[in-house]
Amino acid sequence: MAKIMEASGLRKRYGAVQAVDSVTLDIEEGICLGILGPNGAGKSTTIEIMEGILSPDEGKVLFKGKPIGRDFKRKVGIQFQTTALPEFITVKETLRLFSSFYPDPRPLGQIVELCSLADILDRDNRKLSGGQRQRMLLALAIVSRPEIVFLDEPTTGLDPQARRNFWDLVARIKAERTTVVLTTHYMDEAQVLCDEVAIMDHGKILERDRPGKLLARHFTGALVKIPKGCIDGALPASGRMVADFLEIQSTNLDDTMRELLAGGINLEGLSIHKPDLEDLFIELTGASLRN
């Protein structure tokens, strides 16, 4: 498939902090890419470089094979992690204002319907609740019918229902063949929405692939977890500590249980589940955080 964006060798330093460290990231047209990583990993910095908002110390960004220029701004939709809205004007006026910036904006009615803004159209921007604000910011990001949207933690602060509505909305945008790049701290969200995920820490991309492939690469069988407090003796040979848990990847649960019991381990807090992105995230970033 065609690459809509290609970033290569991006580096950005803030004083002593190497916020982005040699990031190379290609994005195929029409996919949803999730960037996951702990706080301060460099997710926002990376996507702001790709949006053309920050200039990197090194590296380059191509949009459809060409360096990003003025034209790019008409084709990109952006939702920053934190943005202020103009004060004293209403949601409707703000939407009109932003519509006026683009040659072929979505009709107001469509955007209102897509982002469920009908109830708050005449409300002053300053009086929106956290979730209403997120919906409004998302509306501003897609008002231009962008070819690619960057959403930086779009669901932070949303209630579970609103989060699900947001998932539907992203699905609809994707159905229009818009490429979506989003950052999130919610692994369930990444699992539902993203065709591919990239896991970042310390400014580097640690892994990047389809969620299923990533899981298959790092886990085999079921995942048995026991809280650290329940273990006083030696660790069983098949297990290892990941964050605060003893973790065992087990292809044969009978054998695993026997091993644990033989080791005199208290099974009180034991859990067994199919490994998911959450586990992968902790596996990758938790492990590297400890060094």
Partner 1 sequence: MRQFWAMVYARSMEFVRDRGSFVWSLVFPIILVFGFAFAFSGNGNALFKVGVLGSPPAAAAASFMAIEQVQFIPYDGSAPGKGLASSLDRLRRHELDMVLDLGSRDFYLNAQGKNASLLRRLFLADPAMAGISEKTVTGAPIRYVDWLVPGVIGMNMMFSCLFGVGFVIVRYRKNGVLKRLKATPVSALGFVSAQALSRFIIVIMTSAAVFAGTNAFLHFRMEGSWLTLMLVASLGIVSMISLGLIFAARLKNEELVNGLVNLITFPMLALSGVFFSLEGSPPILRSVAKAFPLTQVIQAARSVMLDGAGMAQIAPQLLFLAVFSAAALAISAALFKWE
Ligand X SMILES: Nc1ncnc2c1ncn2[C@@H]1O[C@H](COP(=O)(O)OP(=O)(O)OP(=O)(O)O)[C@@H](O)[C@H]1O
**Beta-strand pair 66-67/179-184:** unpaired
Residues 152 and 130: their CA atoms lie apart, in Å, by 15
Residue number with CB closer to Mg ion (44 or 79): 44
**Binding of partner 1 by 101 (CB under 8 A):** yes
Select the binding partner of residue 80 from partner 1, ligand X, Mg ion, none (C-beta < 5 to 8 A, by kind). partner 1
User: Mask: binding to ligand X, 78-107, rule CB under 6 A, as x and -?
Assistant: ---x--------------------------
For residues 124 and 209, which CB has a smaller minimum distance to partner 1 in the complex? 124
What is the smallest separation between the CB atom of 180 and ligand X, expressed in angstroms? Answer: 17
Q: What is the H or E stretch that residue 125 is in?
A: none
d(CA 178, CA 21) in angstroms, rounded, equals 28
93 contributes a contact to partner 1 by CB under 8 A:
yes
**Interacting residues with ligand X between 26 and 45 (CB under 6 A):** 37, 39-45
Q: Quick check: 156 binds Mg ion (CB under 5 A)? A: no
Candidates 5, 20, 37, 44: give the one binding Mg ion (CB under 5 A). Answer: 44
Nearest-CB residue for Mg ion: 44
Dihedral angle, C-alpha 4, 6, 11, 12, nearest 10 °? -10
19 vs 214 by CB, closer to partner 1? 19
Nearer to ligand X, 14 or 101 (CB): 14
57 touches partner 1 by CB under 8 A: no
**DSSP3 helix / strand / coil % (the chain, rounded to 5):** 35, 30, 35
3-class secondary structure, 219: coil
Q: Yes or no: say if 168 and 189 are a contact pair by the CB < 8 Å rule.
A: no
Residue 210 DSSP SS3: coil
Which residues ranging from 6 to 25 are in contact with ligand X (CB under 6 A)? 14, 17, 19
CB of 194 to partner 1, least distance (A): 23
Are 68 and 233 within 8 A, CB to CB? Answer: no
Give yes or no for a contact between 210 and 33, defined as CB atoms under 8 angstroms apart.
no
Contact 211, 284 (CB under 8 A): no
Coil, helix or strand at residue 97: helix
Beta carbons of 33 and 27 less than 8 angstroms apart: yes
Using CB under 8 A, which of 31, 62, 89, 192 touches partner 1? Answer: 89
Strands 148-152 and 179-184: parallel
**Single residue of 1, 16, 39, 100 touching partner 1 by CB under 8 A:** 100
Tokens of 156: 């932070």
Give, as ranges, the residues between 130 and 159 that touch partner 1 (CB under 8 A): 140
CB of 36 to Mg ion, least distance (A): 11
Positions touching partner 1 (CB under 8 A) are 51, 53, 70, 73-74, 76, 78, 80, 82-89, 93-94, 96-98, 100-102, 124, 140
Positions touching ligand X (CB under 6 A) are 14, 17, 19, 37, 39-45, 81
